[in-house]
């Protein structure tokens, strides 16, 4: 936590898998039976809220403030296990149980004058937020429709951030696109002000295989990760994106599904590195390093008439600008096995400004192509008149980030 503070991470989030065992019905951090009901005892809801407040105050005293707290994690799963062999702590919750817990926590935070805000949903799959017939489904309508009996929009410490996990909604491009489009449309219907946060993802399911057999290479995994981020931003309108998790033991050259850094915990320091950075880290970096808080996404258009599903196997493009309009970031994923040329036209980019391409970064399968700074082409200006365009070559199976500036600075 202290290291996180040194790196000036903007937001710290505390989340809970299971209420502490002293508050659960069965005295364990997991369920013993599948009944879709929370393991939190009904008479311990206030105790749980007070416990969370104590945790927040402890870290506040150490100058480590949690901006947000998520008291419920993936409430749609049953989280059952056997005594002595349970694999993970957790608890299911119904929407009513979530409402009661969030309301108690809201009262506690207000009563103790704490500044931490509450993240409500933390859905195990994105479609639980707008559909699904499970114990905690249609959560956007349930919690943010003013007509709902479980409306939380009027709670002082509630947030408008609708959190969901991207797992299992990316098996096939049609499903990937449909889930995020439906989520966006539902948020729009019950907005304004609601924002989608993709709060947990790794290649946990089989979607990353894309109907192939055998191992997937490091760049295959990285490109699939980039495709997920791209669609969360462009189809889901996500305003935050979180990866799970940073590091874990495993290979870096293939099937690096769950982590950004592959740990080698059993390797002696005098015989090799204790960790290897995967291509996943650089794929994420094309977004997290260049698309900074406060930037706006620019809607893009293309002239090849490809469908959304065809684009997901071709060249994917997203663009972002800062608040002053002096900087534009264009991310381009070439998902194909051939080099591609892209001609970027400036119509409507930034009104009244001529933008200059000042930096170009590429990640590909090539060793060392890890957000590598490549020279920019000579013809690299973007004028609003459209008389000058920017042509770039996108290497096969690669991610490119183009930085345009109105004042020729990075």
Q: Where are the domains of the chain?
A: 2-242, 298-405
With a cut of 60, say whether residue 391 has pLDDT above it.
yes
- 5 C-beta neighbours (distance < 10 Å), count: 13
Q: What percent of the chain has pLDDT over 90?
A: 83
**Average pLDDT, integer, range 6-10:** 90
Helix axes 45-61, 95-111, angle to 10 degrees: 50
pLDDT of residue 267: 63
pLDDT digits (tens, 9 = 90+) for 316-330: 999 999 988 889 999
- Positive or negative CA dihedral for 314, 250, 260, 203? positive
Could you name the CATH architecture of 2-242? Answer: Alpha-Beta Barrel (3.20)
pLDDT of residue 325: 83
Q: How confident is the model at residue 265 (pLDDT cuts 50, 70, 90)?
A: confident
Which DSSP string corresponds to 288-342? HTTS-TT-EEEP---SS---HHHHTTSEEEEEEE-TTSSEEEEEEEE-SSS-EEE
d(C-alpha 155, C-alpha 13), whole Å: 19
- pTM of the full structure: 0.95
Q: Which DSSP symbol is given to 167? A: T
What are the distances in angstroms from CA 140 to CA 130, 186, 189, 198, 272?
6, 7, 10, 14, 49
pLDDT digits (tens, 9 = 90+) for 77-108: 999 999 999 999 999 999 999 999 999 999 99
Residues in the chain: 410
Q: Edge-to-edge strands of the sheet including 161-165? A: 161-165, 195-200, 240-241
d(C-alpha 219, C-alpha 121), whole Å: 33
Q: How confident is the model at residue 385 (pLDDT cuts 50, 70, 90)?
A: very low
d(C-alpha 104, C-alpha 334), whole Å: 49
Q: How confident is the model at residue 381 (pLDDT cuts 50, 70, 90)?
A: low
With a cut of 80, say whether residue 396 has pLDDT above it.
yes
Q: Give the residue from 291, 402, 391 showing the smallest Cα distance to 341.
A: 391
pLDDT of residue 113: 98
Q: Give the residue from 161, 121, 157, 117 showing the smallest Cα distance to 139.
A: 121
What are the distances in angstroms from CA 169 to CA 30, 232, 239, 317, 368?
25, 11, 18, 21, 32
pLDDT digits (tens, 9 = 90+) for 194-239: 999 999 999 999 999 999 999 999 999 999 999 999 999 999 999 9
d(C-alpha 299, C-alpha 320), whole Å: 9
Q: What percent of the chain has pLDDT over 70?
A: 93
Q: Round the CA-based radius of gyration of the chain to a whole number and report it.
A: 23
What are the distances in angstroms from CA 348 to CA 353, 354, 386?
10, 11, 9
Q: What angle do CA 392, 394, 397 make, to 5 degrees?
A: 175
Count helices and strands in the chain by DSSP H and E runs: 8, 18
Q: How confident is the model at residue 145 (pLDDT cuts 50, 70, 90)?
A: very high
Q: How confident is the model at residue 270 (pLDDT cuts 50, 70, 90)?
A: low
Assigned token pair, 89:
């702590």
The CATH number of domain 298-405 is 3.40.640.10: no
What's the maximum distance between 2 C-alpha atoms anywhere in the chain?
A: 71
For the chain, give the mean pLDDT: 93
């Amino acid at each position: 936590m202290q290291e996180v503070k040194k790196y000036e991470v903007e937001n710290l989030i505390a989340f809970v898998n299971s209420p502490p065992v002293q508050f659960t019905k069965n005295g364990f951090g997991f369920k013993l039976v599948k009944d879709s009901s929370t393991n939190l005892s009904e008479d311990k809801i206030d105790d749980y809220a007070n416990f969370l407040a104590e945790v927040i105050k402890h870290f506040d005293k150490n100058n480590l403030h949690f901006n947000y707290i998520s008291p419920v994690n993936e409430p749609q799963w049953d989280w059952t296990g056997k005594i002595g062999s349970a694999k993970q702590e957790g608890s299911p919750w119904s929407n009513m149980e979530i409402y009661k817990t969030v309301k108690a926590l809201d009262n506690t935070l207000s009563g103790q004058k704490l500044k931490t805000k509450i993240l409500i949903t933390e859905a195990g799959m994105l479609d639980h937020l707008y559909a699904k017939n499970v114990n905690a489904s249609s959560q956007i309508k349930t919690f943010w429709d003013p007509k709902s009996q479980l409306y939380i929009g009027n709670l002082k410490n509630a947030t408008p951030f609708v959190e969901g996990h991207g797992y299992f909604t990316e098996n096939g491009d049609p499903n990937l696109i449909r889930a995020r489009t439906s989520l966006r449309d539902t948020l729009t219907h019950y907005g304004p002000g609601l924002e989608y946060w993709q709060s947990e993802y790794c290649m946990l399911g089989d979607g990353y295989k894309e109907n192939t057999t055998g191992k997937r290479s490091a760049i295959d995994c990285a490109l699939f990760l980039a495709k997920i981020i791209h669609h969360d931003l462009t189809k889901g309108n996500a305003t935050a994106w979180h990866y799970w998790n940073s590091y874990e033991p495993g290979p870096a050259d293939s099937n690096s599904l769950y982590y950004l850094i592959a740990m080698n915990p059993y390797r002696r320091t005098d015989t090799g590195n204790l960790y290897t950075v995967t291509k996943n880290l650089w794929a994420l970096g094309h977004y997290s390093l260049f698309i900074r808080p406060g930037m706006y996404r620019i809607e893009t258009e293309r002239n090849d008439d490809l469908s959304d599903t065809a684009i997901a196997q071709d060249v994917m493009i997203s663009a972002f600008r800062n608040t002053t309009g002096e900087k534009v970031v264009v991310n381009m994923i070439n998902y194909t096995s051939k080099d591609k040329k892209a001609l970027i036209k400036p119509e409507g980019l930034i009104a009244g400004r001529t933008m200059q391409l000042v930096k170009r970064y590429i990640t590909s399968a090539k060793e060392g192509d890890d957000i590598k700074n490549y020279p920019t082409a000579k013809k690299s200006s973007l004028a609003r008149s459209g008389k000058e365009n920017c042509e770039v070559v996108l290497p096969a199976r690669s991610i490119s980030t183009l930085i345009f500036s109105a004042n020729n600075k990075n």
